Structures are given as structure tokens and as C-alpha cells.
């Protein structure tokens, strides 16, 4: 077996891991595929005679590729978090498709993908490599062009943004609100109209954001019956998250933020729902994952 064939076998043995790393960094399966392919090109042109840990070496390569991709556009962070139109439906040579990407996104955590998309490239790389793939900061530092202390600080800052304020997230009031919101989402997904009525205040108000085209004709909806009709059978891409320190909802099909819902709870019922779809307003939201994401 010649060296090129041996390299190809080594690369294929690590492909799934490299794709997992790239997907968490880039938030798009097609872009992750591009990053993995670029990693193969770099590998095939490299002298690997001194490489003792091929898996670690390939992880470093794909991480550098992703870092370059993330830095290539100043608007990259916004695109990751704010894309409102799904990517075109296409079939690829490896048999993957948007449905496959949806499954992967759900396994990673839709909320996690949205929050990761709001980090800057260095924060995202440091957090993903350390907290998800357990690389040491001495390994991460050269990838992002920082020293070890700076890499540690970046990961720590990213962790605070991803997890939200710890002192807030453990309160009993927040736990009760989350249980209510999760019940609301479960009833929405299954189309359980009667269950929706039990979690909504009879006089609930839904304020739709006209920036979201499907809601433009009904900016304000009054009453539990009408609001329940709006949500029954929907919310497939919705997840409960922390929004500005309290429980809210993001709707993020395939990990791409479409809109957010801020909810006001009165006497154990959802009394007000405010949709936010306008991109500048979405960018201003402090979104963090809840503990089990």
C-alpha cells in the first residue's frame, strides 16, 4: 500500500469525528463537508512522517479550516444565528440531505447551535474544542493564534454566554416557568388543543412580529381559543431557552433562528406572548441554553 492510500484510509477512519467537529463549529452540514474536504486536501499535501496521533492532528487541521471559514466574513456570526430561510433542498454524493441535517442538528441541540452562532470565531473554537471535544488549552491555543491563558479565557467567556447566568437559572420560579413553557411546546407540537387551553390564560395576548411574513396579517391575537389555533400542530423546531435571563422560546428549524418568543406568566398561565422576528432585535437578545441542552 502506498503512502497516499494509507493516508486516505486514515482520513476515512476519522471522517465522522471530523464532520462532528466541523458541524458544531460551522452550524451547517454542507459547510462542515466543505471543511472536511479542505482538511483532506491539506493532509494530502503534508508530510505526516512525524505524526504520532493522527486523530488529534486531523482535529487540529479541521479546526484551523473552520476558524478560517468563520473569520472569512465579518457577518458570519450573524448569518449563523439569524438565517431565516432554510438552505435549498439538495441531495449530495454522500447521501445526506436537509432531513439528515435536521436530525444531526437536533442531536447536537438546536438551542446550542443558535447560541454558538452568536459567539465570535475564537470563542466558538475554544469552547467547542475544550468543552465538547476535551482538547487541552495548550492544543487549542495555536489553532486560534492565542496563548494558553487567552484560550482558557475565551472558552470561559463562551461558557458563560452559552449557559447563561447560573444564579438565575436555578431559581424555583424559573423552574416552574420552564415546566409551563415545555408543556406549552409539547401541546403545540402534538396539536393537543385542549392541553393548550390549560396552559394559556383565557385572555392571553399574542403579539406577532410583522417581520415574520406568515404573521403579517394578524399582528395581534386575543384570547386562548384564537392563540391556541395559531400554535396547534406547530413548534416542531421550537425549544425553550433562557432569553435575557428568563425562560422563553426560540423557533430554529435545523438550528437556524427564525424567531423568538418572550412569554409573560401570570398565576401559572401564559398571559402574553411577544414574537421577535426582526433581525436587529434578535441580535440584541441574550440567549442561553437551559441545563439539559
Residue with cell 447551535: 113
Worst-scoring range by mean pLDDT, 70-74, 146-150, 191-195, 202-206?
A: 70-74
pLDDT at 97: 55
178-232 pLDDT tens trace = 999 999 999 999 999 999 999 999 999 999 998 888 887 889 999 999 999 999 9
| Nearest alpha carbon to residue 14 among 66, 64, 57 | 57
In this predicted structure, the answer to whether residue 85 has a pLDDT above a threshold of 50 is no
Angle value at C-alpha 83, between 76 and 75, nearest 5 degrees: 20
More confident of the two residues 226 and 114: 226
| Nearest alpha carbon to residue 178 among 110, 265, 111 | 265
In this predicted structure, the answer to whether residue 127 has a pLDDT above a threshold of 90 is yes
What DSSP letter does each residue of 58-104 carry, written as one string?
A: HHHHHHHHHHHHHHS-TTHHHHHHH--SPPP----TTS--HHHHHHH
**Which domains does the chain show, CATH number per domain?**
3-163 (1.20.140), 167-288 (3.10.450.50)
| Three cell numbers, residue 284 | 440584541
171-181 pLDDT tens trace = 788 889 999 99
Angle value at C-alpha 112, between 24 and 249, nearest 5 degrees: 150
| Nearest alpha carbon to residue 252 among 79, 24, 84 | 84
SS3 category, 153: helix
| Three cell numbers, residue 120 | 465570535
**Average pLDDT rounded to a whole number, residues 29-44:** 91
In this predicted structure, the answer to whether residue 83 has a pLDDT above a threshold of 60 is no
More confident of the two residues 245 and 141: 141
Q: First CA to last CA across the chain, in angstroms?
A: 45
The percent of residues in the chain predicted with pLDDT above 90, rounded, is 53
What's the Cα-to-Cα distance from 259 to each of 20, 25, 215, rounded to whole Å? Answer: 26, 22, 11
**Average pLDDT rounded to a whole number, residues 58-84:** 73
SS3 category, 247: strand
Model confidence pTM above 0.85? no
Return the C-alpha torsion angle 167, 288, 75, 84, nearest 10. Answer: -150
More confident of the two residues 76 and 225: 225
pLDDT at 102: 60
Q: How confident is the model at residue 126 (pLDDT cuts 50, 70, 90)?
A: very high
Which of 16-30, 210-224, 233-247, 264-278: highest mean pLDDT? 264-278
More confident of the two residues 40 and 102: 40
In this predicted structure, the answer to whether residue 75 has a pLDDT above a threshold of 60 is no
In this predicted structure, the answer to whether residue 122 has a pLDDT above a threshold of 90 is yes
In this predicted structure, the answer to whether residue 29 has a pLDDT above a threshold of 50 is yes
Amino acid at each position: 500500500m502506498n503512502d497516499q492510500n494509507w493516508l486516505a484510509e486514515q482520513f476515512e477512519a476519522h471522517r465522522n469525528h471530523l464532520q462532528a467537529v466541523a458541524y458544531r463549529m460551522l452550524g451547517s452540514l454542507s459547510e462542515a463537508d466543505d471543511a472536511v474536504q479542505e482538511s483532506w486536501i491539506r493532509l494530502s499535501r503534508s508530510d505526516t512522517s512525524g505524526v504520532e496521533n493522527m486523530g488529534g492532528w486531523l482535529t487540529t487541521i479541521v479546526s484551523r479550516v473552520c476558524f478560517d471559514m468563520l473569520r472569512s466574513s465579518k457577518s458570519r456570526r450573524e448569518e449563523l444565528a439569524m438565517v431565516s430561510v432554510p438552505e435549498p433542498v439538495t441531495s449530495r454524493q454522500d447521501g445526506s440531505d436537509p432531513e439528515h441535517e435536521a436530525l444531526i442538528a437536533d442531536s447536537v441541540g438546536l438551542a446550542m447551535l443558535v447560541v454558538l452562532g452568536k459567539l465570535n470565531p475564537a470563542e466558538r473554537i475554544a469552547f467547542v474544542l475544550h468543552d465538547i471535544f476535551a482538547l487541552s488549552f495548550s492544543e487549542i491555543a495555536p489553532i486560534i493564534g492565542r496563548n494558553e491563558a487567552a484560550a482558557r479565557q475565551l472558552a470561559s467567556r463562551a461558557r458563560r454566554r452559552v449557559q447563561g447566568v447560573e444564579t438565575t437559572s436555578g431559581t424555583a420560579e424559573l423552574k416552574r416557568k420552564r415546566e409551563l413553557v415545555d408543556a406549552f411546546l409539547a401541546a403545540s407540537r402534538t396539536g393537543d388543543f385542549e392541553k393548550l387551553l390549560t396552559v394559556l390564560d383565557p385572555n392571553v395576548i399574542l403579539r406577532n412580529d410583522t417581520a415574520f411574513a406568515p404573521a403579517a396579517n394578524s399582528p395581534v391575537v386575543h384570547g386562548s381559543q384564537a392563540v391556541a389555533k395559531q400554535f396547534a400542530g406547530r413548534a416542531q423546531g421550537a425549544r425553550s431557552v433562557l432569553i435575557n435571563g428568563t425562560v422563553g422560546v426560540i423557533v430554529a428549524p435545523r438550528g437556524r433562528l427564525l424567531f423568538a418568543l418572550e412569554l409573560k406568566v401570570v398565576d401559572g398561565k401564559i398571559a402574553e406572548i411577544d414574537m421577535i422576528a426582526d433581525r436587529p432585535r434578535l441580535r440584541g437578545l441574550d440567549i442561553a441554553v437551559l441545563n439539559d441542552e
